[in-house]
Structure 1
Amino acid sequence: MVELQAATPSRVERFSLLDGLRFAAALAVVAYHYLAFPEPGLGAPVSSVGPEVFRFAKYGAFGVDLFFVISGFVILMSGLGRSAGAFVASRISRLYPAYWLGVLSTAVVVAVAAPGHPVDLRQVLVNLTMLHPAFGVGDVDPVYWTLWIELHFYVIVGVLLLFKPAPSVLLAFALAWPVVAALAQLTGSDLLATTLIAPHAPLFAAGMAVFCIYRYGSNSIAWLVLAFDTAFAVAASTPNIGASIARNTDSSMSSTAETVMGLACVGVVVLVTLTPLSRVSGRWLTTLGALTYPLYLLHQNIGVLMIHAMEPVEGRWAATGVTTVLLCGVAYVVSRYVERPVGRALRRRLEGDLGALAGATRRRSRRAA
């Protein structure tokens, strides 16, 4: 493979439109859960009370695939050039503060507002680790399944970055990873397929390929890798979302629609990072991006209970709109007063402790030698 040379980025590594895209993906998932997913607590499904709304809202499930493509770009961008300790500290401090609050808040709200809901103390405590799927413990909120996938990706990237990969190695990895993962799945190697997140690998890999083009420059090899990953995602990843929509909403989706949505998930990331749109700036877009994670964490179980409580008075549509706006406000509070201060403090502490641990390990190794 052609050896690519690292280029000095010509743009500031803050993509305002990418932040806005993250928020749009979160709103799409919110719309899917409120306006397409047949939540038991919401009575008649939207497919019967508002079929025209349902027809569009069901596509919001593809917001998850868009999240994965964005993660492929952003996590590689944030990890390159950092030590292993700094990368681990940044990911833990980014994921856990809002997540801990989300788990506890959801558990309390569900216990008070829906006491028949099967959430127990053991489930809550194990959920706080974010590793609960490994122990066969159910999610306190159904949206947590994607965090388990993201954790796998962080580990994969962390291991990759330990080797300080050259640009060509990053591209080779983005090309080979989905293939190896798919082969593991096809051959029944369940542990390897799960570790390599086989159904979603092409989406993350496509985001990584987009980042390589941004960071190291446009060339035929990088674009071919991106084209391969995108085609692989359309063939192997997006059909999973289509099948999930059909399973959950009893509404079939054509392969053409799945293909268009898969191409769009990659295409919009390319547009906001590799075209003049990457230079668009706006603090309001950055603010919206900051709402994404807490809104995603809090919206499903809590939001459904809020809509259920308001619907007899406000009606379904008004209750849905008010709930979405209120949860966006809560997400802003969580972002500003939990994620930022707690995340910064946790990151400094972890970086210091991990640095001290690494230093002690090196000193012990020198003495042993």
Structure 2
Amino acid sequence: MNSDYNYDVIVVGAGIEGSATSYQLAKKGKSTLLLEQFPIPHNRGSSHGQTRITRKAYGVYKHYAIMMEEAYNSWNLLEKETNTTLYHETGMLCTGPRDNTFINGTIEFSKTNGIPVEVTNQNDIGNKYPRMTFPTNYVFVLDTCAGILLADKGLRAFQDIFRQNGGILKDNEALTNIIPGSVITVQTTKGQYTCKSIILTVGPWAKQLLPTLGIHIPLKPIRINVCYWKEKNPGEYGLGKFPTFYESEAIDGKYSVYGLPSMEYPGYVKMCLGWGPDVDPNDRDFVNDQWVISKIKKYVADHFPNLHSEPSIVEPCIYTMVPDEDFVLDKHPKWSNIIIGVGFSGHGFKLGPVVGKVLAELALGETPSYDISPCRLNRFTFQSKM
């Protein structure tokens, strides 16, 4: 190792994006330190929980749909590397009115790119999935290769392979300062390290950290209530009987709803509103979110009559939103060895392996494998003050 620095790369934040990035770097033979402010495992950020939806039909974000083929392959590779099941194919049912942008975008992209989907109506879908009710003018699109990622297991799998390839993971050690330069100094609550490049995958804490580096972008951490609803007839919504589910602009023309079959807690279906109140990630648990519960309760009562209309379990998660809901994947405008990966807006988990590949490439001065122009910092109006 070069005596001028301790590590080739330091990655800050051991959620899915940081862990997948560190995995990529270690497999490339780069000396890598992965720092996490909380003891692992923890539930304070955005990557915890047992399940996430994955899909190839991506609607309006075509640049991410292009990445999904490699994402699927990468998750499959990780399963083989760890001898662990990380994916269950369930299909994903997307629904909405005939003029819905997400529905039409999904159909168009799927046809153009050969993604297997089935497009049908309320009568046909009612025969296949009789446990839900929707207006007769709704269109239903079933992405047959979509399914469920086992989130906690996937996160741990990336971290395990990272360490097996020589990576160093230090948890319960918070970042306190970054001193830029050709060699970067990283100060934490427990020590000081130096590196050639640093990658910041710090989730909702990016809103507090990036301004200290002169980066002012419109990040908006929000609290998501992950709700579980008891089945009236146990087993009706289980694996093999019900797909994952998504309705864009389902409530008030702006709030989306997503759901997963009964799996995490036997007899309880995961059904959530994809929005919530603004939140400070350090003070996540004390916010006024009763309006979220009220809206999702009415939605469940209206459309899923075989579920009890009061959630039995509610668990918090945090999305870090940006206005266009595109990711932020870029180099610092002044310090090209500071790499930023933030703002995944609630849809970044399934793309973690590809995001990790791209962030590793940026840190190593390589050309990204994908067009990330929609994810660049220059789409925001700001000036770096460093």
Scaled to the shorter chain, the TM-score interval is: under 0.3
Under a length normalisation based on structure 1, what TM-score does the superposition of the two structures give? 0.23
Q: Which has the higher helix share?
A: 1
Under a length normalisation based on structure 2, what TM-score does the superposition of the two structures give? 0.22
Q: Which has the higher strand share?
A: 2
Relative CO higher for 1 or 2, CA cutoff 8 Å, sep ≥ 6? 1
